[in-house]
Structure 1
């Protein structure tokens, strides 16, 4: 049981680095964004109501990528209630995707 606890703490520490790096970036108001919200919310409806479009994944526990070119998309989306609206381009760079 002690080994399991140590493993879970180590896993949490390893995963928290990228999340903290993304969360510490300045707010994004348009372009590619990662919308993080509770699993029971309608992320797609939030994104559409804010003037954007979801680009995937459609079935995900807490996050969906969205695209919007309207300069006020970020504030409108944040008002809809997701936990976080993160820079999608930074996420793709963190994952090694270019272009």
Structure 2
């Protein structure tokens, strides 16, 4: 008779893969040109100022402590966000899909 704990590593690996796969899909999604982006910056950073200095505007009413959603009509918005202090820029449509919303 096999012991139930023998299967614990396989069960944990499966749960981990199922939890991490959607997050990896969002992080690796290519940015949609002209679409909303999620701007991630360090703790205490003024995210609204970063987006506005990059010639963009905020989208939506809710904000996370280290992220906001922004948009811009001008070219190279993502490059300017990085120059102004953004740590990461993620595709807003992919994130809205993960959250169960349509963008």
TM-score normalized by structure 1? 0.72
Q: Does 1:52 align with 2:56?
A: yes
What is the CA-CA distance between 1:93 and the residue it aligns to? 1.6
Q: Does 1:23 align with 2:27?
A: yes
Q: Does 1:75 align with 2:79?
A: yes
1:97 to 85, 97, 101: 101
CA RMSD of aligned residues (A): 2.4
TM-score normalized by structure 2? 0.69
Larger Rg: 2
Q: How many pairs does the alignment contain? A: 89
What is the CA-CA distance between 1:56 and the residue it aligns to? 3.8
Change (3 A) 1:81 1:51: same
CA distance in 2, matches of 1:15, 1:40: 28
Deviations 1:30-54 (A, max 9, x none): 3200011112111110100101001
Q: Which residue of 1 aligns with 2:68?
A: 64
What is the CA-CA distance between 1:68 and the residue it aligns to? 1.1
Give the unaligned 5+ runs of structure 2: 1-11
Give the unaligned 5+ runs of structure 1: 1-8
Change (3 A) 1:15 1:56: farther
